[in-house]
Every structure is written in C-alpha cells, then in structure tokens.
C-alpha cells in the first residue's frame, strides 16, 4: 500500500480525474474506509446499463439510504454523463456529497455534461511521485523508474517480463476501452500509428505537418489526435514561453505522456534497455522531472504555470515555471552525475537578461548541491523541493 499525498475536502463534493491504473479507486477505498457511503462502480456492465437507461434510479437509491450515509462515490462517471444532472439535483435537494472519478474528460466535454458549476472541486490523480515512493519506503532506482514508470502495479511485479506484459496490456487496454469502445476515431489504424510516432517524439517540439505525413492523415487530424490524448488524460502539451498567453498558444508545443513506462510501451521500446550517458537516457530523465513537476503542482495546489523556451538560435531552457508571488524559475535538466559551470552557460545568459524576478536551477543526478553565479545546481529531488517549497 502506498501513502498518497492527495488532500481533498471532506465537506464538499469533488471530481477525481486521472488515467487508468493510477490508483484512484484504491485511494478512494482508503479515504472512505471509515466514512459511511454508497459506492457505484460504472465499470460493472450491469450498473452502467441500469443507470444509462434510467439515471433517475440513482435518486431512488439515495432516498433509500440511511441518513448517516452522506457520501456517494461514483467510479468512472464518464461512462454515464447524464448522471451528472441527477448528481446536481441530489447535491441541491438531498444534501448528499459526491466523489466522482473519471479516466477521460472527453465524453463529458463532447456531451456538454453538467460539470456541476463549481459545486464539486476538481482534482487530478497521477502515477506515484518520488515523495510518495519515499514515504512508502520504496527505494527509488532512477533507472527502473525511467524504464518502467511509476504506475502502482509496476512495483508489485518483480519479473521484468511481467512488467513488459503489464505495460503492453495497458497500451492495448487504452486503445480498446478509451478509443474503440467510445468510437473516438473513425479509423483506428492511423491513430494507432500516430500513438507510436507521438511516443517516439515525446518531449520534442511537434511538427504537425511532418507527423501528418508520417501517419497518412492531414494536419488538422493530427491536431485532433493530440486533443484526444489530452482529453483521455494520456499526457499534456507544454507550450513555448511568451509573455502573451495568446502568442504562447500559436507556436508549436511539446507533448509529454503522463508516465515514462507507458510512453515506452506506446513507442514499442520496452525491450530496449536504457543506457546511462546516452541521448535516450537524458530525454527520459528530462521527461521524468517535467511530469514530476506537474504532479507536485497539482498535489500541493500551487497554480504554477509551465512552459519551455527556445530562441531562434535553438538555445533552449527545458522548463519555465511561473510561480505567483515568487520569482520565475528557469530550469535546466541534466541526467549527468556530475555538473559544473559548463552545464549552466545558457541559464547564466538568460538569468542576466530576464525581465522581472528570476531564479535559475540546474537539476541533475549530481548528489552535491552547489551555487555558481547565482545558479542553483541541485540534486533533482532537492531542487524540486526548493522550487515547490514543500
């Protein structure tokens, strides 16, 4: 059992959105262990069918509850979006509180589902963070984390071949349950090819036209495919930095899958060992630190804003973190076990020319903290702690 760090209100309804396999249901079981509640699992075909045919059955169920039962948990709410109208009514007229989980926001968006107009807080759930692994007394082997990711199930599998089987199955289940079953795309083969290519180019600036040519579809279709990945919580777009949000969204973003192991599964790379001191290892380490940053932002409810920066001369800062009330953090990510002034020349240059308060960080696997020319060179875990102030 892992000690998850999520904090949700005990006095207000909430949504809990996260990819399959991240542990939402397990966490809710523990959260409501000593709280009287009604549990409805829409992954059960009979439950889904019953409530899809007659959503008002939920009202009858709730009216028949013992008054001590003040909470209703509905797992995978996107399976029956119409239930949200009933949930709204029950919050208003029956004074019940709801915990609603989902592994996709797409069906809710497309169906213009009632998202309860602020009556339910929204939380996002992720694979395990390094903090949750540490508090669960799990030794963090960076090579294993990069290779297999941090979905909870991975840590219960000892045989590498079982880990490969699990991640392959995860990728196949995503296609079957989220894409085919929901009829998200008209043709599956181009989307399947797109998934592989997108995973292989994870963390790179997206060239939509080149990718469209490789997949055999038009540019608009590729853009819609990335929207599907975001809506089904498979990853996120990282936009280039610009003071103007409008301009930020006009230039090409990067895309990062939500988990390093799932990324490798979709890219068909699970049987390829990651070799230290290689380009591939460095890209996966960068991927880990960036997704970890977004996870911590959500868990600690920081409202930080993330982007990357690349100049016309191809000089790049891996991660820009705008922190309300604090200096903007410029972050370079290096997988090296030893970093020095040679690794921070870009940071030094941007730090001197930056308009407004700024702090510069180089996060790496070097275990010795240093400060050179006001640039903080820190072990990646210590660096995240300083940036996020936890």
How do residues 208-234 score in pLDDT, each as one tens digit? 999 999 999 999 999 999 999 999 999
Average pLDDT value over all residues in the chain:
91
CB-side exposure of 315: number of CA atoms within 13 Å?
10
CA dihedral 209, 214, 219, 223 (to 10 degrees): -110
Range in 2-6, 29-33, 248-252 the model is least confident about: 248-252
DSSP string covering 147-189? HH---GGGGG--SHHHHHHHHHHHHHHIIIIIIITTT--S-HH
Query: Does residue 99 register a pLDDT over 80?
Result: yes
Question: Token pair of 31, please?
Answer: 């959260």
Domains in the chain, ordered, with CATH? 13-124 (3.40.50.300), 130-279 (1.10.10), 300-388 (3.40.1350)
For residue 57, how many other CB atoms are within 10 A of its CB? 13
Average pLDDT rounded to a whole number, residues 194-206? 97
Query: Does residue 282 register a pLDDT over 60?
Result: yes
Residue 242 has what pLDDT? 83
Residue 113 has what pLDDT? 57
Give the pLDDT band (50/70/90) at residue 313: confident
Average pLDDT rounded to a whole number, residues 99-107? 83
Residue 115 has what pLDDT? 66
Give the pLDDT band (50/70/90) at residue 247: low
Query: Does residue 184 register a pLDDT over 90?
Result: no
CA 196/CA 269 separation, integer angstroms:
10
Query: Does residue 139 register a pLDDT over 90?
Result: no
Q: How far is CA 203 from the centre of its chain?
A: 14
Give the pLDDT band (50/70/90) at residue 112: very low
Residue 353 has what pLDDT? 87
CA 101/CA 88 separation, integer angstroms:
15
Average pLDDT rounded to a whole number, residues 12-27? 94
Residue 138 has what pLDDT? 66
Residue 249 has what pLDDT? 61
Residue 106 has what pLDDT? 73
Residue 148 has what pLDDT? 97
Whether residue 252 contacts residue 141, with contact meaning beta carbons closer than 8 Å, is answered with no
Residue 365 has what pLDDT? 97
């Amino acid at each position: 059992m892992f000690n998850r760090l999520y904090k949700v209100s005990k006095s207000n309804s909430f949504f809990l959105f996260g990819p399959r396999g991240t542990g939402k249901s397990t966490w809710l079981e523990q959260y409501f262990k000593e709280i009287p509640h009604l549990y409805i699992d829409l992954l059960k075909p009979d439950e889904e069918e019953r409530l899809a045919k007659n959503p008002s059955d939920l009202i009858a169920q709730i009216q028949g509850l013992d008054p001590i039962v003040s909470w209703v948990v509905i797992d995978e709410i996107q399976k029956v979006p119409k239930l949200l109208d009933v949930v709204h009514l029950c919050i208003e007229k029956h004074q019940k509180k709801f915990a609603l989980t989902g592994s996709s926001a797409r069906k809710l968006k497309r169906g213009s589902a009632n998202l309860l107009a602020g009556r339910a807080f929204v939380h996002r759930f992720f694979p395990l963070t390094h903090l949750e692994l540490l508090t669960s007394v799990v030794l963090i082997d960076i090579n294993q984390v990069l290779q297999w990711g941090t979905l909870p199930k991975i840590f219960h599998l000892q045989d590498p071949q079982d880990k490969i089987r699990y991640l392959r199955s995860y990728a196949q289940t995503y296609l079957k349950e989220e894409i085919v079953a929901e009829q998200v795309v008209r043709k599956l083969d181009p989307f399947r090819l797109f998934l592989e290519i997108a995973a292989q180019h994870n963390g790179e600036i997206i060239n939509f036209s080149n990718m469209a040519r490789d997949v055999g579809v038009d540019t608009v279709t590729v853009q819609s495919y990335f929207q599907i990945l975001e809506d089904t919580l498979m990853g996120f777009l990282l936009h280039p930095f610009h003071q103007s949000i409008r301009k930020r969204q006009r230039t090409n973003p990067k895309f990062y899958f939500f988990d390093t192991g799932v990324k490798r599964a979709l890219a068909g790379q699970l049987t390829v060992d990651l070799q230290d001191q290689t380009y591939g290892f460095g890209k996966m380490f960068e991927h880990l630190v960036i997704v970890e940053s977004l996870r911590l932002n959500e868990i600690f409810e920081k409202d930080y804003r993330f982007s990357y920066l690349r100049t016309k001369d191809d000089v790049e800062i891996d991660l820009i973190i705008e922190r309300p009330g604090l200096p903007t953090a410029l972050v370079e990510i290096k997988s090296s076990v030893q970093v020095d002034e040679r690794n921070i020349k870009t940071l030094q240059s941007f730090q001197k020319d930056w308009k407004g308060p700024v702090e510069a960080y180089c996060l790496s696997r070097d275990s010795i903290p240093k400060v050179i020319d006001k640039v903080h060179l820190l072990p990646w875990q210590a660096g995240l702690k300083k940036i996020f102030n936890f």
